[in-house]
Amino acid sequence: MPKTRSTQTVIRAMAWLTCMTFFLIVWVGIGIAILLVSQRAGSLLTADGAPTVLTDFAPVLPIPILCCNIIGGIFILFFFIIRPLWGLYAAFFLPPIQLPATLLEINQGERSTSVLFESRGKRIRLSLGADQLHWMLNHAAPGDTGLLSYRANFIHEWQTHPANAAQAPHIQIFLSYSRAWKEDADYLRQFFESKGMRVWKDDKRLEIGNNLTREITSAIDAATYFVPLLSPEYWSSEWCVSEFEHATMRGIMILPIKVSAGMLSVPPHLAGRYQRWLNETLFLDLRGRNPVPQLNALTRQMISRVP
């Protein structure tokens, strides 16, 4: 999709900032005028021999008005000038944030257009330019999963058809994870799907009445890669350990990803049994810095390994 904001958007933003700056100047001018008039009135009352009460009250009269003027000026400066300036700077000069996301809806209004995405349980609403709206309406639909890049509240790029997508559809990934890391598993699912891969993730583990064991073992057997999200909770879960054990017995290629910070202690009775699969564990700080570059490298590695 188009990566740059339209010229009309920049012109509207600059026009808004110009109007607000002019309004702030007028607002401050009114405050200065009130101060000068009050001082002049006070001097005239003193010179004309006015009663002492009026003489004392005249300089005090504009103080509440001046306080309101100063507070209003600060409010206008911050919310209507500094914040839009920062947003304009962030939209064009700060490095974009990248993350996998699912498109939820496209809103086309008379004055503004926006799109709503979901990533790791969080909803993100971003503004669109006219050229970007045209592209989204013709190439995207709610429910699409892709790689989202954005700055401030402006969308930078939405990639749903990567260059290597033609090589990826035959790759199927089984995500094994503890319930404590469900949001991170959703994040990885969205990323791998944005690369054109098929992902099997057990979302029905707690349901009753389904033959989950057979369903899960069949999914592991059909997987190209078994990707366990290693954490302290993972090794304490009998379900996760059973999935890992089944994958090792079936000879599925295993790509372990460590998602928890700090040392990861594997139970002694499991460490020796699975050590050779854990030697090449990749650490991904999914809740910290941007993991997309690491995930891109991992994707290229996965594609290169498959004949």
CB 176 within 8 A of CB 228: yes
Q: What is the pLDDT of residue 276?
A: 74
Closest CA to 239 of 222, 217, 260, 259: 217
Which residues partner with 101 through β-bridges?
A: 146
* pLDDT averaged over 10-residue windows placed end to end, the chain, 307 residues: 56 74 81 70 52 47 68 78 72 76 85 83 83 82 84 78 55 90 88 86 55 78 91 85 88 87 73 73 72 83 78
User: HSE on the CB side for 241, CA within 13 Å?
Assistant: 13
Q: How far apart are CA 287 and CA 99, in angstroms?
A: 12
CB 142 within 8 A of CB 105: yes
Strand pairing category for 97-108 and 145-151: antiparallel
Q: What is the pLDDT of residue 173?
A: 93
User: How many beta carbons lie within 10 A of that of residue 146, not counting itself?
Assistant: 22
Alpha helix (H) ranges present in the chain? 7-47, 52-60, 63-76, 83-93, 130-139, 182-194, 212-222, 232-235, 238-250, 268-278, 292-305
Q: What is the pLDDT of residue 153?
A: 76
121: left (phi over 0), alpha (psi -120 to 50) or beta: left
Output the six-digit token pair for 297: 């490298």
Place of tokens 């702030």: 24
Place of tokens 């059909």: 222
Q: What is the pLDDT of residue 207?
A: 43
Q: What is the pLDDT of residue 226?
A: 93
User: HSE on the CB side for 243, CA within 13 Å?
Assistant: 31
Q: What is the pLDDT of residue 283?
A: 77
Q: How far apart are CA 250 and CA 116, in angstroms?
A: 41
- Give the pTM: 0.62
DSSP strands (E only) in 109-153? 113-119, 122-127, 145-151
**One-letter amino acid identity for 261?**
A
